[in-house]
């Protein structure tokens, strides 16, 4: 049997293999095989994931920023696909899910991948007064072609305190199908897919967990109550995450208080309280949630949550820039909702409320947190390297 010379494979075939690698560790190992494989992956340095996507409050511009490691500043990332050709900025990015951006391009809704520039059209919503505020994909539209479902939250833009509309669509649908919210009320806060079903947090106080029945277009409320997780006097973020075969509820409470000091001017300190609970179901493989229990750690996984968007979990073994059993979330001001930094909460640290790491973002202007962004395939940063002063001598 003849041995195959892997170094002599065609560059195009190697590049296709590189773009299908699921984790950053495999992409780094691919580029370390030889010079030919490194050249086949493309120009630029690999960008460790995940990133977070921000949207400017002034002109709607978006920026992808990667979390910086210790003693390094965060900086925007310019993707290799966006380096060449005509740059067309979308009108407004409404949501992020599974590496896809939900874009409202002048009334036309579509899913776009900023790395590969792939686009998937979405049907328009029936009522023009409602705008898309969040989207959740059950699978990758290109990997599971014809078998994916999109759930979305729609809201009247002029009324800030109005309720949402929960709707879903499948490939080929001409319009969105609405859910009946007679039993739950028009308030939805987070959605996740688990064991082939969609679960959503409902209620004014985010204290109910419901099952989305697409056949009858109704929400089945479970007996699980999450009211004990909510700190009423604090700003709270709550979401659902599928992690290692379990369905988790993550609650991030934000509180600003005046720090006591002997100086005349007092500084306002921030405290973030993170609680993670596991949802238990009735029977083996059942669909109805019946109880929750506290989670001390998430083993090899790290959780990424945001005020909006599709939360997810990533294994630290496959992503070198991720720390295990940590919750990554945003630090936002309660009054203006502007982003001031990223917070890493270690669930294994008993004094995690005192030892939280807040990394500020060196951005000018006002930015709103859109969501965490995990690219569908390995991406390369083609930003030119900064020239140092000693390089001119």
CATH no. for residue 171?
A: 2.120.10
Q: CA-to-CA distance for 153 and 309, rounded, in angstroms?
A: 10
Q: CA-to-CA distance for 191 and 269, rounded, in angstroms?
A: 31
DSSP for 315-368, please give it: ETTT-TT--TTEEEEEEE-TTT--EEEEEEEETT-TTTTTS-EEEE---SS-EE
DSSP for 50-116, please give it: -EEEEEETTT--EEEEPPP-TT----B--BSTTTSS-----SEEEEEETTEEEEEETTEEEEE-TTT
pTM as predicted: 0.84
Integer-rounded Cα Rg, in Å, for the chain is 22
Closest CA to 68 of 393, 358, 376: 358
With 60 as the cut, is the pLDDT of residue 381 above it?
yes
How many domains does the chain divide into?
1
Q: What is the pLDDT of residues 289-330, one digit of tens each?
A: 999 999 999 999 999 998 888 999 999 999 888 889 999 988
Q: CA-to-CA distance for 23 and 44, rounded, in angstroms?
A: 18
Q: Does some domain include residue 7?
A: no
Q: Does some domain include residue 262?
A: no
Q: What pLDDT, on the 0 to 100 scale, is given for residue 227?
A: 80
Q: Does some domain include residue 390?
A: no
Q: How many helices (H) and strands (E) does the chain have?
A: 3, 26
Q: Does some domain include residue 16?
A: no
Per-residue pLDDT band at 51 (split at 50, 70, 90)? confident
Q: Does some domain include residue 11?
A: no
Q: What pLDDT, on the 0 to 100 scale, is given for residue 62?
A: 66
Query: Percent of the chain at pLDDT above 90?
Result: 24
With 80 as the cut, is the pLDDT of residue 366 above it?
no
Average pLDDT value for residue range 223-228: 86
Average pLDDT value for residue range 207-234: 83
Domain holding 57, by residue range, is 47-80+90-257+268-373
Q: Does some domain include residue 263?
A: no
Q: Does some domain include residue 35?
A: no
Q: CA-to-CA distance for 291 and 225, rounded, in angstroms?
A: 8
Integer CA distances (angstroms), 347 to 258, 277, 302, 392, in order:
26, 12, 10, 47
Q: Are 52 and 369 in contact (CB under 8 A)?
A: yes
With 50 as the cut, is the pLDDT of residue 392 above it?
no
Q: Does some domain include residue 344?
A: yes
Q: Are 385 and 52 in contact (CB under 8 A)?
A: no
């Amino acid at each position: 049997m003849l041995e195959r010379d892997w170094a002599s494979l065609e560059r195009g075939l190697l590049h296709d293999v590189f773009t299908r690698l699921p984790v950053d560790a495999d992409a780094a190992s691919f580029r370390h095989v030889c010079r030919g494989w490194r050249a086949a992956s493309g120009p630029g340095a690999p960008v460790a994931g995940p990133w977070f996507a921000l949207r400017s409050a002034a002109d709607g511009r978006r920026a992808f920023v990667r979390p910086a490691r210790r003693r390094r500043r965060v900086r925007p990332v310019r993707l290799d696909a966006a380096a060449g050709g005509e740059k067309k900025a979308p009108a407004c990015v409404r949501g992020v899910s599974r590496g896809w951006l939900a874009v409202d391009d002048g009334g036309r809704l579509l899913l776009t991948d900023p790395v590969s520039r792939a686009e998937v059209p979405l049907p328009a919503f029936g009522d023009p007064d409602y705008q898309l505020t969040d989207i959740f994909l059950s699978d990758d539209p290109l990997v599971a072609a014809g078998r994916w479902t999109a759930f979305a939250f729609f809201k009247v833009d002029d009324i800030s305190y109005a309720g949402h509309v929960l709707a879903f669509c499948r490939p080929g649908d001409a319009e969105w199908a609405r859910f009946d919210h007679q039993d739950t009320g028009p308030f939805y806060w987070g959605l996740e897919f688990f064991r082939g079903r969609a679960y959503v947090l409902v209620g004014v106080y985010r204290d109910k967990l419901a099952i989305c029945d697409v056949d009858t277009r109704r929400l089945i409320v479970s007996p699980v109550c999450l009211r004990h997780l909510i700190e009423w006097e604090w700003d709270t973020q709550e979401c659902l995450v599928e992690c290692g075969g379990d369905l988790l509820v993550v609650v991030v409470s934000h509180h600003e208080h005046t720090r006591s000091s002997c100086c005349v001017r007092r500084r306002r300190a921030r405290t973030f309280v993170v609680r993670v609970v596991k949802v238990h179901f009735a029977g083996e493989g059942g669909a109805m949630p019946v109880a929750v229990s506290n989670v001390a750690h998430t083993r090899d996984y790290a959780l990424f949550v945001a005020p909006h968007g599709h939360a997810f979990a990533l294994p630290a073994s496959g992503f070198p820039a991720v720390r295990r059993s940590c919750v990554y979330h945003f630090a936002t001001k309660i009054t203006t909702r502007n982003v001031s930094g990223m917070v890493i909460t270690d669930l294994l640290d008993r004094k995690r409320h005192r030892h939280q790491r807040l990394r500020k973002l060196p951005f000018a202007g006002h930015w709103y947190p859109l969501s965490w962004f995990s690219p569908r395939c390995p991406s390369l940063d083609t930003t030119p390297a900064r020239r140092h002063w000693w390089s001119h001598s």
